[in-house]
Amino acid sequence: MMFGSTQSESSDKQLRQLDRFVKENRPELAALFWGLWLQNGDSQGTIGIDLQPTPHFVYCPQAEIERLNNKVENRLQEILGIIENHKPEIEVVMIGIGKGEVKLIQFAPEPTPPTHFEQIGKDVNELLELLEQRMSTQLAS
- Average pLDDT of the segment spanning 62-91: 90
For the whole model, what pTM was predicted?
A: 0.88
Task: Calculate what percentage of the chain has a pLDDT beyond 90.
Answer: 60
Per-residue pLDDT at 49 exceeds 60: yes
Per DSSP, the three-state class of 48 is: strand
Those residues whose C-beta lies under 8 Å from the C-beta of residue 25, and which sit 6 or more positions away, are 131, 134
- Average pLDDT of the segment spanning 116-133: 96
pLDDT of the residue at 71: 87
pLDDT band at 8 (very low <50, low <70, confident <90, very high): low
H/E element holding 93? strand 92-98
Per-residue pLDDT at 130 exceeds 80: yes
pLDDT of the residue at 81: 92
Round the average pLDDT of the chain to a whole number and report it: 88
pLDDT of the residue at 141: 52
Per-residue pLDDT at 12 exceeds 80: no
Report the alpha-carbon angle 67-108-73, nearest 5.
20
Per DSSP, the three-state class of 1 is: coil
Residue 110: CB atoms within 10 A of its CB come to 11
pLDDT of the residue at 11: 67
- Average pLDDT of the segment spanning 85-109: 92
Alpha carbon distance 92, 31 (integer Å): 9
